[in-house]
Amino acid sequence: MKIDTMFRHAREAFKSLRRNTWMTFAAVSAVAVTLLIFGLFLVFAFNINYLAKELDQQVAIRASIYPGTSADDIEQLQKQIEQDPQVKSVTFIPKQQGLQQMKAQLGEDSKILEGLEGEENPLPDTLVIVPNNPQRIDELAKKIKANNLIEQEDHGDGVTDKLLDFSSLVRNVVLVFGLGLAVLAAFLISNTIKLTIFARRREIEIMRLVGASNWFIRWPFFIEGAFIGMLGAVFPVIIVLAFYKAALNVLTDGSQYSFIKMLPMMPLSLYVALLTTFLGVLIGVWGSVISIRRFLKV
């Protein structure tokens, strides 16, 4: 298609938008409301996925080494486990360090551990093994336990399984809900654009009578749909990001909710702006396609 023809279609599209001000306002409003819901959903989805990844990263196996195992044997054992393709990382925690960590966790109650330093320390030397795939942690735990230098292993068993199941469930729900919301948005925009096309049916009939091709008629509507989708995405993006910025300020100012982890503003704002605008343009054009093909039979 020639560039001047495309400019002509763009001019016609913008003229139509100006002539049908109220229809344009109705279409943009429908897109804005739909994309506002979608934008809030994106914020929720990205943060749920972020929390699910955080849960996955916390999944680990704590393997207690038999007392009396030499430092050389422990080093060889650590290297052997690190070579397993299912293992992401292995961290050795001497029993002295383990005791200090326990004291830090107990806080003011750490006094009950006084006098257990040195030879009196009852804790074992420990290897903390992080799996590459948390879903296969049971399989990896069995292999770790089979080593004759490992006294016992602990990976949470039922708790870990519940966390992983919850993580998987959340991802699936987010995916299904997102697809459903996108379809709903396209349906609402399609119906709004149908009203615009119905109001201009006489103009389209004249264009066909003078020999205009189907694609010549379609292009201005495609551009209109894209512009409506883009314009309808502007306000939702601003509102959603302002809401998220306020929520972040509340959660990071040392309040009682500061333990809740959320995605930083910069990556999330970029994701939300790009995806919301892209979706607005996509469903705007899609709505135009559906309206023209099924309603006008062009």
Sequence ranges of the domains in the chain: 3-56+161-296, 60-155
Alpha carbon of 150 to those of 29, 47, 228, 288: distances in Å? Answer: 64, 38, 64, 65
Q: What is the mean pLDDT of each run of 10 residues along the chain (298 residues)?
A: 64 68 74 81 80 72 85 87 87 79 66 62 81 81 85 70 67 72 67 67 74 73 80 88 85 61 82 87 76 58
| Among 172, 153, 21, residue whose Cα is nearest residue 77 | 153
pLDDT reported for residue 92: 86
pTM: 0.60
Handedness of CA 77, 80, 85, 90 (dihedral sign): positive
Residue 298 has a pLDDT of 47
Give the integer Cα–Cα distance in Å for 28 and 254. Answer: 40
Contact (CB, 8 A) for 74 and 65? yes
For residue 161, the model assigns a pLDDT of: 61
Residues with Cβ < 8 Å from 38, sequence gap 6 or more? Answer: 178, 181, 182, 185, 236, 276, 279
d(CA 28, CA 33): 9
CATH class of 60-155: alpha beta
